[in-house]
Amino acid sequence: MRVLGIDPGIGRMGYGLVRSQGNRLRTEDYGCVETRPGPTGDRLVRIYEKMQELLQNLNPDVVAVEQLFFYRNVTTAFHVGQARGVVLLAARQAETAVAEYTPMQVKQAVTGYGSAEKGQVQRMVAMLLGLPAPPRPDDAADALAVAICHLHTAPTMALVRGRNGDDRFPAGENRRSES
């Protein structure tokens, strides 16, 4: 099982590929792509193309993303939402399943404690992956943590994916044309 963890953002997107090998976990690639300040469209194209490259080169079975409900403010939520939109789009187009986990689920799965501190999570990520030190930058460590979370909790994935649906809106298309 190969899981690509993603920590989306408009300025920085962390990523990390974790694979399970027997009962050991290993990473094959992790890092962080930063986008140049400029028009949002350009930054989104960069994120989208990086996602396409990661999906093609790393060939994950699942993309795991953190599901944040609480942001410092709506502007942050809005910016992260834009980046996350193109991440989910690229995953869906590559026909790769997406699993979403809350920060508490990630902490719980990685450290056994849902309120663990960032440093603890990072040290556990290093230990579980057999790395000599916590991975840098933080965005990459966060991406690896959500990938590990998926591998530790995969049996509940169907349940988690079922919750991604949004039933608030009706279906169908309503369209008019004039010329």
According to the binding rule CB under 8 A, does residue 32 interact with a copy of itself? Answer: yes
Tell me the window of 5-13, 101-109, 119-127, 148-156 that interacts with a copy of itself (CB under 8 A): 5-13
Among residues 86, 78, 72, the alpha carbon closest in space to that of 6 is found at: 86
Q: CB of 40 within 8 A of CB of 10? A: yes
139 a catalytic residue: yes
Q: 72-79 long-range CB contacts below 8 Å, 24 or more apart?
A: 79/9, 79/10
For a copy of itself, the binding residue among 23, 56, 159, 171 (CB under 8 A) is 171
* Residue 66 is assigned to a ligand binding site: yes
> How many Å apart are CA 87 and CA 175, to the nearest integer?
28
Task: Assess whether 95 carries a catalytic annotation.
Answer: no
Using rule CB under 8 A, residue 71 touches a copy of itself: yes
Of 34 and 117, nearer to a copy of itself (C-beta) is 34
Q: What is residue 62's three-state secondary structure?
A: strand
Q: What residue has token string 């027997």?
A: 22
Distance CA 95, CA 74 (A): 30
- Indicate the residue among 18 and 124 with the shorter CB distance to a copy of itself: 18
Taking CB under 8 A as the rule, does residue 125 contact a copy of itself? Answer: no
- State the minimum distance, in angstroms, from the CB of residue 27 to a copy of itself: 6
Query: Could you tell me how many residues of this chain bind a copy of itself (CB under 8 A)?
Result: 68
User: Residue positions in the annotated binding site for Mg(2+)?
Assistant: 7, 66, 139
